[in-house]
Amino acid sequence: MHNERYIPSNNGGEPVGLAFGKAILLGEHAVVLGAPALVVGLPDCMTARDGGPAETLSVSVEPWGLSIEADAKEDLGSRALSALDDALGEAGVPRTSRDRRVLVSAGVPPRAGLGSSAALAISVGRLVARLAGREDLLAPKKSAELVKGSETVFHGRPSGVDAAAAATGGVGAFARSLGLTPVEHPSTIHLLIASSGERPPAREMVQHVSRLAERTTAARRQLSQLGDLAIAGASLLIRSNLRGLGEAMNEAHSLLSKLGVSTKELDLLVEECRLGGAFGAKLTGAGGGGCVVALCPPDKAETMLCRLQKTASWARHFVIEGGGEVPGGSARRGRGSREDD
């Protein structure tokens, strides 16, 4: 993880608040019950800018057509913003810095399993902190802490993986008890993320899986396998075995299907990614709609993106830079290669 990336180096002097989107490569749902998840912070996803003083903290996200004001008695978005405003107040940010109109540009769709609510709250929180001269609140742990309340409004009792990834970026292993641990990966990874266009009822999906786990040993076994795959996936990524990681993702998709959180549309997108040459593909996030994530060879990514843009309601290619050493081998930077190439 490259923690310095949440601080913009130079934006012409204009203060901005940045945050990452998130894609879970392995371990969603299992992470709610304490198992680890392998997660990627997606770059260039959320940028908040100051639009001047306002009566109360208010936010507009242009590509989403969203405009909300902090209000504890209104719709979910306004309540979440009000919770963020309260957390900033409790952290000592004065009302004069919080009563702003904030303009946000988003590079991911809302409610699609890509951590958009956490990313939005973190980018707004960071902008307000910068305006107040509170650089101490920009650090990933502090920023993630500030959005706990707003995430609870949206998700009930989230694992915290969305906020951790949105605040930190890079690739990491997340567990409730340990937080986010960076996973250094020598190879650059190419991810294609495509949305089915269905808006997933994330909270209901999490409740459905938790109830299933209470009732059946099969579901408990599947969740434990999902957690094991996340641990194995992190180690495959560290060793640049992208083919192995892709296979783990394929396996995770079939386990998630057995848990009842895939849809026909998600299955079709997964199939299309695999036929297009992906190392592996699966649904990402809570499921019941939303997005699929595919890990692909670098030379196939753009062709696959063109095909996906015809069938998916939204699709984007993300490049996550690698660096460092392959354990027991020579340095390989950004080749998107696999262990046994």
By C-alpha distance, which of 9, 26, 316, 71 is closest to 172? 26
CA angle 182, 184, 189 (to 5 degrees): 110
Of 293 and 320, which has the nearer Cβ to ligand MEV? 293
Q: Please identify, using beta-carbon distances, which residue of 61 and 205 lies nearer to ligand MEV.
A: 205
Q: Give 140 or 200: the residue with its C-beta nearer to ligand MEV.
A: 200
CA pair distance 33, 52, nearest whole angstrom = 42
Q: Which is nearer to ligand MEV, 29 or 338 (CB)?
A: 29
DSSP string, 87-141: HHHHTT--HHHHSEEEEEEESS-TTSSS-HHHHHHHHHHHHHHHHTT-GGGGSHH
Q: Is 143 exposed, middle or buried (0-12, 13-18, 19+ CB in 10 A)?
A: buried
Q: Which three-class secondary structure state does DSSP give residue 172?
A: strand
26/102 with CB nearer ligand MEV: 26
- Distance from C-alpha of 33 to C-alpha of 213, rounded to nearest angstrom: 10
3-state SS record for 88-99: HHHCCCCHHHHC
CA distances from 244 to 5, 238, 282 (A): 29, 11, 14
d(CA 31, CA 34): 5
Tokens in use for 297?
């060879």
The residue among 162 and 272 lying less far from ligand MEV, judged by its C-beta, is 162
Q: Give contact residues for ligand MEV (rule: CB under 6 A).
A: 24, 28-29, 31-32, 113, 155, 158-159, 161-162, 206, 285-286
**Burial of 48 from C-beta contacts in 10 A (0-12 / 13-18 / 19+):** buried
Nearest approach, Cβ of residue 116 and ligand MEV (Å)? 10
The nearest distance, CB 15 to ligand MEV, in angstroms, is: 29
User: Rounded to the nearest 5°, which phi and psi values hold at 70?
Assistant: -60, 120
**To the nearest whole angstrom, how small is the minimum distance from the Cβ of residue 220 to ligand MEV?**
16
From 162, 228, 299, 340, the catalytic residue: 162
> Do residues 242 and 189 lie in contact, with contact meaning Cβ atoms separated by under 8 Å?
yes
Nearest-angstrom CA–CA distance, 57 and 65: 17
Angle between helical axes of 148-155 and 76-90 (0-180°, round to 10)? 160
Q: Residue 261 CB, nearest distance to ligand MEV (Å)?
A: 8
Query: CB 271 → ligand MEV: shortest distance, Å?
Result: 22
Rounded to the nearest whole angstrom, what is the least distance from the CB of residue 290 to ligand MEV in the complex? 9
| CB of 162 or CB of 251, closer to ligand MEV | 162
Q: Is 340 a catalytic residue?
A: no
Show which residues are catalytic: 162
